[in-house]
Structure 1
Amino acid sequence: MVLPSLATVADLAATLGRTFTTEQELQAQALLDQASSIVRAYVRLDITRATTTDTFTMRWSTRQHLGAPFDSHRHGQVTLPQRPVEEVTAVKVNGTATHDWWLEQNELYLRTVPWLGPPGAHQAPQVEVTYTHGWDPVPGDIRAIVLQAANRVIVNPSGIRSETVGGISTTYLIPAAGEYLGVLLSRTEQKVLDRYRRTASTVRLRSI
């Protein structure tokens, strides 16, 4: 699935206070696509609102949920990797639809778990979940970082860190101390994105 850029060419033109030619618009879109991909890779999230069907390997949980219509026996759990979770529309366990579940943030809990018969009797149940996730609109700080990352390449395409002209020294904001690699994130931008970053691992088999 091709994900949209987290900021638009019109946003970038407004930031720069200029009008792009057709060729410049193509370059700007390419830079925004790169910056969006880098931000998504850093936070490990799609960010934009979408509906996804994923299959997960269930794990056991003894998490108690006060007020939920479930007994206190051990129940199944899967972690939905994309955040924030807006809605879960369908859940299947080993191919059988179930409504015997509840959601806490991005954790899905199941009570009735049909185990596979032989020869797969000892395999953990597979849980297929269709859910809507992400932000609409994209959070302003994320959009701003994408615009900043793309803008740095436009205003400093050669990646110069500093230069001295007529006795005046100018230092450019290049994210990394090493070689210039195009669109990158600064340490400050990474710190801003850290509050969105997904750190927990999830067993996911496939996306439909």
Structure 2
Amino acid sequence: MASPWALPEDLRLHLRLDAIDAVQAAASIAAAETIIRAALQQTIDAVAGDTAGLVGTGRRTILLPEMPVTAVASVTVDGTLQDAGTWRVNRHGVLTRLGGCWPLDADITVVYDHGYAQVPAAVTQVCVQLAGRAWVNPRGMASESIGDWSGTWDKARAGDALTDYEMRLLEPYARGPESR
């Protein structure tokens, strides 16, 4: 299991609290990490030896699902190991077939390492902000009236949704729509 992106102390400082329940804070941070991973469709944390099953496109390039790519251990096409001189990959996950195209509808298996050894500061900041919203307003109350009680809830105010600004901050760490 990867280390948490932020610590309860980070959340305490962000919220300017004198004290914080460390167990609850850790749970809020973990929930924020899950939401961010889902929004980005990326693991973010460093992963070694991950396996991606892809399908040949009949083109020179195919995209690995996770980035940044830090190393590729092997590439196989329909069970046949490919020589390292027949392909190349960049950190953005573009796997290029040298001297030809990936066979159409072929089963391509790539064993590779990806992710960040240290989670980028922008990702950590968004995680703390999201966890902070969940901490301050766990039910997502947007408005409340007391006489003849009335309540309005807003999921975004509960820390269950990323704001447009946060999504712009996270955009460099997400895959583009063409790769999903």
| Alpha-carbon distance in structure 2 between the residues aligned to 1:4 and 1:108 | 29
The within-5 A match list for 1:87-166 is: 87-99=71-83, 100-104=86-90, 105-111=92-98, 124-161=105-142
What SS class does the counterpart of residue 173 from structure 2 fall into?
coil
TM-score under structure 2 normalisation?
0.76
Aligned residue number for residue 200 of structure 1 = 177
| Alpha-carbon distance in structure 2 between the residues aligned to 1:129 and 1:32 | 32
| Alpha-carbon distance in structure 2 between the residues aligned to 1:28 and 1:91 | 42
Q: CA deviation at 1:47?
A: 0.8
What SS class does the counterpart of residue 72 from structure 2 fall into?
strand
Which of the two has higher C-alpha Rg?
1
Bigger helix fraction = 2
Contact 1:58 1:77 in 2 (8 A): no
187, 191, 208: which is aligned to 2:164? 187
Structure 2 counterpart of 1:159, which letter? G
What SS class does the counterpart of residue 118 from structure 2 fall into?
coil
**Runs of 4+ in structure 1 over 6 Å off:** 112-115
What SS class does the counterpart of residue 119 from structure 2 fall into?
coil
| Alpha-carbon distance in structure 1 between the residues aligned to 2:127 and 2:139 | 19
Structure 2 counterpart of 1:78, which letter? I
Q: Give RMSD over aligned pairs.
A: 2.9
Listed one character per residue, the Cα deviations across residues 168-207 of structure 1 (whole Å, up to 9, x for unaligned) are xxxxxxxxx962363222221122112322123558xxxx
Residues 156 and 124 (structure 1 numbering): CA distance in 2 closer, same or farther, change over 3 Å?
closer
Aligned residue number for residue 171 of structure 1 = none
Unaligned residue ranges in structure 2 (runs of 5+): 145-151
Q: CA deviation at 1:102?
A: 1.2
| Alpha-carbon distance in structure 2 between the residues aligned to 1:92 and 1:18 | 55
TM-score under structure 1 normalisation?
0.67
50, 54, 57: which is aligned to 2:55? 57
45, 54, 76: which is aligned to 1:48? 45
Q: CA deviation at 1:11?
A: 2.7
Q: CA deviation at 1:92?
A: 1.1
Q: Figure out how many residues of one structure are paired with residues of the other and give that number.
A: 166
Structure 2 counterpart of 1:106, which letter? G
Q: CA deviation at 1:57?
A: 0.4
| Alpha-carbon distance in structure 2 between the residues aligned to 1:41 and 1:3 | 16
Tell me which moved more, 85-94 or 194-203.
194-203
Contact 1:43 1:198 in 2 (8 A): yes
Q: CA deviation at 1:8?
A: 2.7
Tell me which moved more, 25-34 or 5-14.
5-14
Unaligned residue ranges in structure 1 (runs of 5+): 62-75, 116-122, 164-176, 204-208
